[in-house]
Structure 1
Amino acid sequence: MFRLQQDRLGPERLADEAELKAWVEEQTGQSIASWRRISGGNRCHSWAIEFSVPSVQPLYLRYQPPRPSSAEPYTVWREARIYEALKETDVTAPRLCAVHPEHQAILTELRPGRADYRSLNDESERQSIALEFVEAIAQLHRTPFPVAAIPGLTELMSIADCVRDELKIWRAMYAETAMPDPLIEFAMDWLEDNVPEPAGRPVLVHGDAGPGNFLFQNGHMTALLDWELAHPGDPMEDLAWFSMRSVMEPVPDFAAAILHYQAAGGAVLDLARIHYHRVFVSTRVVIIRHRNVTGQPGNSIISRALNRRLLVDALAEASGVTLLQSPPLEAAPTPRTELYDGVIASLREEIATATNDPHIIAASKNNAKVLKYLREADRLGALVCQRELADLSALLGSPLPSVEDGRAQLIAGLRDRNIPFDTALRFFAQRVANDAQMAALASGGLASRKLPSLDSLEGKK
């Protein structure tokens, strides 16, 4: 029998593995036979644990190291409250076993399966698993929870109230960076001005639902994972997250999966709300990258370019603004281009192939991405700055001394609502297109990925 500890607030110190192992053995009354580090998601360390007695359920330990005080409320202890709320339901989630009383650490069941959805080559298998995933999300959305069980929920809150609460959280998380960003300001203003007001009660939203955050085995989904961002809100938000995560790990027939969600007992589809939440989801991801809290430099470069482009696309679709595709910038190689190419080739053909060490291979690939970006920044960077300065001057109506000065004036104009929405959006579309071009060589196939189209769903709800 596992003893469930209650979380409490208090000072944290870094836990070492020996301390965590001792706690696991104390909680289970079992000796650890296998302690294997695995991917733990957003800033967390995680281990798969097996015990000396083979019949004892393997467990999953998720530990969040101490972090500075922040406006961000999403912690492992908070996630534990979500797992506790899920324990007596039919939602396909691991069972919570214990919560550490001092450290941000939880023990859950280790469900069978893997999370690398993109590695599946059989499209029919991928589609079948995607359908089971939306069935699980539909089950989540129709499951009633006691109000007190869900962090942030009160009895009289509407769906719109919950969305506004989330907007306040993410506005604060952005603001505490003290690094103004015109696109984030623009997106947050639009989100706050356009909160949907649907009827119905809030549901428990997973908050990061989609490929990569569920397990599957033998052609079937086995568990929904990573409940850190779960909150009360609009069921359409999880479909927006599914859409976003499908950019990285595509679903063969995304529209069919969305329709299956409703057929499986999920909420009635509302495409306008899905479009709204695609903007909010994209804004969250851009803010996470703006806070620079996770990721290798190469992946951060790619993620920043991709997600800022997706945010502009989502804003255009949600607002009905048509964006024209501008031609790519043209610039000749520089005297350093050949040098970059030589180092990149060496990383790929000599260093990465000379070892079986996965950490060295991963570091080589990451460094190659950085160098590919620097190669293009060296070639295109000055032209990108010139274009942005010219566009800022045209947008603001007067010549500007620098890009930095122009961005500051742009933020002031956005805050004062002096710039028409469609004009500003087209300006941002040009910016993200230029940034995406500089990151394209590093991004590979992601450079051309888009949010799955919802057009075919019109009239099929």
Structure 2
Amino acid sequence: MQTADPSASANTLIEQKLRRFVEHLTGGTVTSMQRLPRWRPAWNLDVEKGAETIPLHIRGDRGGDVSPFPELRREADILRLLGEQGIPVPRIYGFCEDPQAIVMQRVAGVRDVSMAASDEERRSVARQYVKAMAAMHQLPLEPFAKQGIRLPRGADDITLAGLEAYYPLYARNKTQPQPLAEFAAGWLRRNVPRHRTKAAFVQYDSGQFLFENGKVNSLYDFEFAMIGDPLADLASARMRDNYEPLGERFSELYRYYQEVTGEPADPAVVRYHTVLFATVSTLQFSATVATPQPGDPHDTYIEFDIALRRVVVHALAEAMGIAIETPALDIVTHGPNAALLAMLADAVEQLEVHGEFQQSKRRAVSKIVEYLGRADAMALRLQRLDQQEVETLLGRRFDDNGQIDAALEAFVKQAGPEYDEPLLRLFMAQIERRVRVFGSTAIGASASHINLPPIEPR
């Protein structure tokens, strides 16, 4: 007898609740409902109301404790405020409490700028996005403060708004030492640009927009939005350009932003915020890899973790004027469990799954198995090299590899700025070796393509 899949039953119940909510909200009938193959729950729906078909999108709660602003309603309120003030964002239809979800307009368009009709259109789209971002930065802050968005004051408070929002999440979930994260956080606190005293409403995870026929229809994803330094949005868009190109050279968009706003944008501050955004993103996902929870999108979190750590190192090197160095490493591709891992990979491929969503789940497992194969071959070698370098820097020996990160984190927390370069070179060697090992896997591909675009023309 075949046993019912409890997760499938739970998903069916969730979709039934959402369907009923949408029909009550709109007074129409849901004629189609498609779960999107994303790492967080999301659906596209069509609702018929008389002769009208209403295209909707549902953004569900991502689950887990990985957000500094876990209240999904907060994002719905922000989108509503932005729309009221003329910023192109999806219209909010309503908010479902059980299960928690935002019901919003399904905006026409795509994010992939390679689908633009021409280079001219692609550049136009990029400038439209920058213009919309600049308009958002000019909005009055009072409506957001009244909605409960924290209003920072003074250079430290404004500049470090993102770090102070994310750090409690990191500290609450921390289960293992995180020496790189602590080093980056300490560097950021010691190097605040004191002249940045004007706050703005920022998307924070910026560079996300939809366009169609040469027109930007919407900015989207305001889950991490806050009030802070507007140059934080330029920095996070710059990071996104690595894997989701903006459509024009970042240096040109940086120049255009200054033209639109009429205000200078200090490149050193953009570099600083590149470090900051990469750091808080690393803080956000550090515990999901150190202590994974059932139901997490594990392949996605591993991918985020290795890529973001590499960005932290590259951004710090850029800000400190230190060249990236890739250490020599002999790569072995097969470990002692290679045969068993080959069997596991084959067993996963033999699983019969139906529908795009379940197929995406199987692909996720296959990616983890591939990653595990590289770890089986090289993890001990990487640990030995890390240990040798930490022992040299700290001037002490370790009998237990498990003691190393704790000792290194303790050193980082008390070390003065004279150790910034030696510590950065240590972390650089660690992450660059890991990218050498894992960069050709599906999970490691993002990390292997890290290349921060120039801020100013060369």
| TM-score range normalised by the length of the shorter chain | 0.7 to 0.9
Q: For the Cα contact (< 8 Å) 2:153–2:197, is it kept in 1?
A: no
Q: Distance in 1 between matches of 2:434 and 2:119?
A: 32
Q: Distance in 2 between matches of 1:232 and 1:138?
A: 14
- Residue 391 of structure 2 aligns to a residue whose secondary structure is helix
Alignment of 1:202-241 (within 5 A): 202-210=199-207, 213-241=208-236
- Equivalence for 1:450: 450
**Partner AA of 2:434 in structure 1:** D
Q: Which has the higher contact order (CA 8 A, sep 6+)?
A: 2
Alignment of 1:218-367 (within 5 A): 218-251=213-246, 253-265=249-261, 267-292=263-288, 296-331=297-332, 333-334=334-335, 336-337=337-338, 357-359=355-357, 361-367=359-365
Alignment of 1:383-398 (within 5 A): 383-398=381-396
- Residue 258 of structure 1 aligns to a residue whose secondary structure is helix
Q: Distance in 2 between matches of 1:361 and 1:122?
A: 34
Residues 15 and 271 (structure 1), Cα distance of their counterparts in 2 relative to 1, 3 Å cut: farther
Alignment of 1:178-217 (within 5 A): 178-179=174-175, 180-199=177-196, 201-210=198-207, 213-217=208-212
Alignment of 1:53-68 (within 5 A): 53-55=50-52, 57-64=54-61
Q: For the Cα contact (< 8 Å) 2:125–2:214, is it kept in 1?
A: yes
Q: Distance in 1 between matches of 2:313 and 2:228?
A: 23
Please report how far the alpha carbon of residue 277 of structure 1 lies from its aligned counterpart in structure 2 after TM superposition: 1.0
**Partner AA of 1:440 in structure 2:** G
Q: Does 1:432 align with 2:431?
A: yes
Q: For the Cα contact (< 8 Å) 1:391–1:427, is it kept in 2?
A: yes
Q: For the Cα contact (< 8 Å) 2:254–2:456, is it kept in 1?
A: no
- Equivalence for 1:9: none
Question: When the two structures are superposed, what TM-score results if normalisation uses the length of structure 2?
Answer: 0.84
Q: Distance in 2 between matches of 1:144 and 1:238?
A: 17
Q: Distance in 1 between matches of 2:455 and 2:83?
A: 38
Please report how far the alpha carbon of residue 234 of structure 1 lies from its aligned counterpart in structure 2 after TM superposition: 0.9
Q: Deviations 1:90-125 (Å, cap 9, x if unpaired)?
A: 211112232346653322222212334466696554
What stretches of structure 1 of length at least 5 have no aligned partner? 1-13
Q: CA RMSD in A?
A: 3.2
Please report how far the alpha carbon of residue 380 of structure 1 lies from its aligned counterpart in structure 2 after TM superposition: 1.6
- Equivalence for 2:380: 382
Q: Deviations 1:123-161 (Å, cap 9, x if unpaired)?
A: 55443322222121112112224253453344x724542
- Equivalence for 1:372: 370
Please report how far the alpha carbon of residue 247 of structure 1 lies from its aligned counterpart in structure 2 after TM superposition: 1.3
Q: Does 1:167 align with 2:167?
A: no
Q: For the Cα contact (< 8 Å) 2:37–2:357, is it kept in 1?
A: no
Q: For the Cα contact (< 8 Å) 1:71–1:169, is it kept in 2?
A: no
Q: For the Cα contact (< 8 Å) 1:92–1:223, is it kept in 2?
A: yes
Equivalent pairs counted in the alignment come to 437
- Residue 173 of structure 2 aligns to a residue whose secondary structure is coil
- Equivalence for 2:420: 421
Q: Distance in 2 between matches of 1:105 and 1:446?
A: 29
- Residue 103 of structure 2 aligns to a residue whose secondary structure is strand
Name which of structure 1's ranges 77-86 and 140-149 shifts more when overlaid on structure 2.
140-149
Alignment of 1:68-87 (within 5 A): 72-87=68-83
Q: For the Cα contact (< 8 Å) 2:37–2:356, is it kept in 1?
A: no
- Residue 264 of structure 2 aligns to a residue whose secondary structure is coil
- Equivalence for 2:9: none
Please report how far the alpha carbon of residue 205 of structure 1 lies from its aligned counterpart in structure 2 after TM superposition: 0.2
Q: For the Cα contact (< 8 Å) 2:231–2:269, is it kept in 1?
A: yes
Question: When the two structures are superposed, what TM-score results if normalisation uses the length of structure 1?
Answer: 0.83
Please report how far the alpha carbon of residue 224 of structure 1 lies from its aligned counterpart in structure 2 after TM superposition: 0.6
Please report how far the alpha carbon of residue 315 of structure 1 lies from its aligned counterpart in structure 2 after TM superposition: 1.0
- Residue 308 of structure 1 aligns to a residue whose secondary structure is helix
What stretches of structure 2 of length at least 5 have no aligned partner? 1-11
Q: Distance in 1 between matches of 2:340 and 2:64?
A: 40
- Equivalence for 1:5: none
- Equivalence for 2:4: none
Q: Distance in 2 between matches of 1:405 and 1:143?
A: 50
- Equivalence for 1:114: 110
- Equivalence for 1:104: 100
- Equivalence for 1:409: 407
Please report how far the alpha carbon of residue 455 of structure 1 lies from its aligned counterpart in structure 2 after TM superposition: 5.2
Residues 288 and 214 (structure 1), Cα distance of their counterparts in 2 relative to 1, 3 Å cut: same
Please report how far the alpha carbon of residue 20 of structure 1 lies from its aligned counterpart in structure 2 after TM superposition: 2.6
Please report how far the alpha carbon of residue 334 of structure 1 lies from its aligned counterpart in structure 2 after TM superposition: 4.2
